[in-house]
Amino acid sequence: MSQEMFVYKEKEIDLTHLPSVKVFVCKPVTRRMVAPFIEKWHYSGNMNGVRSDYCFGLYYQHNLIGAAVFAQPATPGVAEAYNDNGNLNLTELRRLCCIDKTPRNTESYFIGQMLQWLRKNTIVDMILSYADRTHGHEGIIYKATNFELVGQSPAVDKILYKGKLYHDKSLRTYYGDKLKPFSVRLAKALESGAASWQSTKPKNIYIMKIRRKLKTPVNLTPRETDLLRSGERGAEDQISMFAGDGSE
């Protein structure tokens, strides 16, 4: 299949006229394929510090219209409180976004399709996600897709820099034994006053328990799973399941 199907083209399209969200196709993709989209359409505007275990794209014809990233929880202590003392395989929905002009229920449809894929192809037992109240998100989409509201995270101070908020972990990210260049720039910006600390609201915490259809993943080989997680250039051409349409 041509790579053209998976390339994000930065252009505005209006899909609000479509009668059904079922014309959209959800596919597992690589991090490289969705990172530019997330940087444009997610309210955070960045993927800084976000690892990725599973990435998904939502497509309309040849257009990428939605993206999501699942990874190990950013706050291990919170994860431990909900994964049955380590007995559950838990992943966190770290990023989820769609273009603005889509039909009603697009994001809930996207979530539903991703959950189906995770049930069939992984050993994930539980999804964890947060609704960021600082940005006006209460978690309506999660409620609509049967996630359970289980509490709130502690309020934390974040770094406001060039119009974006960054977790203090951004000051401590490394390449090997050296700080990443962005961490150095961020620290200098705090020292100079170009960046500042800002209080944020507690986030709503949601969980979803998954009833897996399979005990172990069989649709992806270990090599294909590693490719999806790596973001390796050209990985999409090596994953045979991309020949399907991603639906059941």
- Taking the C-alpha atoms of residue 69 and residue 73, their distance in angstroms, rounded to an integer, is 11
**pLDDT tens, residue by residue, 109-166:** 999 999 999 999 998 999 999 998 887 888 899 999 999 999 898 888 888 888 888 8
SS3 of the chain: helix, strand, coil, percent, to 5: 35, 25, 40
**Full pLDDT tens readout for the chain, 248 residues:** 344 444 455 667 899 999 999 999 999 999 999 999 999 999 888 787 788 899 999 999 989 999 999 998 877 677 778 877 777 889 999 999 999 999 999 999 999 999 999 999 998 999 999 998 887 888 899 999 999 999 898 888 888 888 888 888 888 888 788 888 889 999 999 999 999 998 888 999 999 998 766 544 445 555 666 655 554 444 444 444 433 343 33
Side-chain-facing half-sphere of 61: CA atoms under 13 Å:
4
Per-residue pLDDT reduced to its tens digit, 59-69: 999 899 999 99
Specify the pLDDT at position 177.
Answer: 85
The CA-atom distances, in angstroms, between 229 and each of 67, 76, 226, 239 are 15, 20, 5, 12
Residue ranges covered by each domain of the chain: 3-154+202-243, 157-199
Tell me the C-alpha distance between 235 and 224, whole Å.
Answer: 8
Which residues, 6+ apart, have CB-to-CB distance to 103 below 8 Å?
Answer: 15, 16, 18, 19, 20, 21
Q: What is the CATH number of domain 3-154+202-243?
A: 3.40.630.30
Question: If we measure between CA atoms, which residue out of 73, 38, 59, 32 comes closest to residue 232?
Answer: 32
- CB count within 10 Å of CB 174 equals 9
Taking Cα atoms as reference points, which of 131, 151, 153, 150 lies closest to residue 140?
A: 131
pLDDT of residue 162: 87
Buried b vs exposed e over 42-62: b needs ≥16 C-beta within 10 Å? Answer: bebebbbbbebbbbbbbbbee
DSSP alpha helix (H) spans, 122-234: 140-144, 181-192, 222-230
